Amino acid sequence: MSIFGAIKDAIFGKPAEAATPPSPAVVAPTPPPPAPVPATPEDIDARLASIAASTGHPSNYKTSIVDLMKLLGLDSSLANRTTLAKELGYTGDTNDSATMNIWLHGEVMKSLANKGA
């Protein structure tokens, strides 16, 4: 699973597992699954605030990718952040971690809103 996928699942929950399909002789046509509904920034903020409140630990998740990843129980190491940056199409210098981190936080929040729950 991708690191962004892990972030998304930690916030919105994992998608329901598909039921075991019936045998080929009894297959009935099914409608396609609905497209994901984009999440608003308010939805994402509310979910993150709820997670932060449940931990009881202060967190700067609203501006820090490291704190956001820690809040979600994910490895926030430089190696994982560099991998996440590559997943999301970062073209800057990954050795400039401060610039990369600022870009990452903004891009993760934007991607969460675009991809929905």
If one compares 13 and 34, the residue with the highest pLDDT of the two is 13
Packing angle between helix 41-55 and helix 97-115, nearest 10 degrees?
110
109, 91 contact by CB (below 8 A): no
If one compares 43 and 37, the residue with the highest pLDDT of the two is 43
pTM of the model: 0.77
Tokens of 38: 């984009």
Report the pLDDT value the prediction gives residue 84, as an integer from 0 to 100.
97
Percent of the chain clearing pLDDT 70 (strictly above): 78
Tokens of 52: 């932060």
Give the mean model confidence (pLDDT) for residues 21-26: 53
Domain assignments of the chain as residue spans, ordered by start? 3-11+38-115
User: How remote is the C-alpha of 77 from its chain's centroid?
Assistant: 16
Give the mean model confidence (pLDDT) for residues 17-22: 50
Nearest Cα neighbor of 6 from 69, 94, 54, 66 is 69
Backbone angles phi, psi at 90, to 5 degrees: -65, 130
Residues across the chain: 117
Please give the radius of gyration of the chain, using alpha carbons only, rounded to the nearest integer. 17
Secondary element (H or E) of residue 41: helix 41-55
pLDDT tier at 43, thresholds 50, 70, 90: confident
Tokens of 115: 């991809």
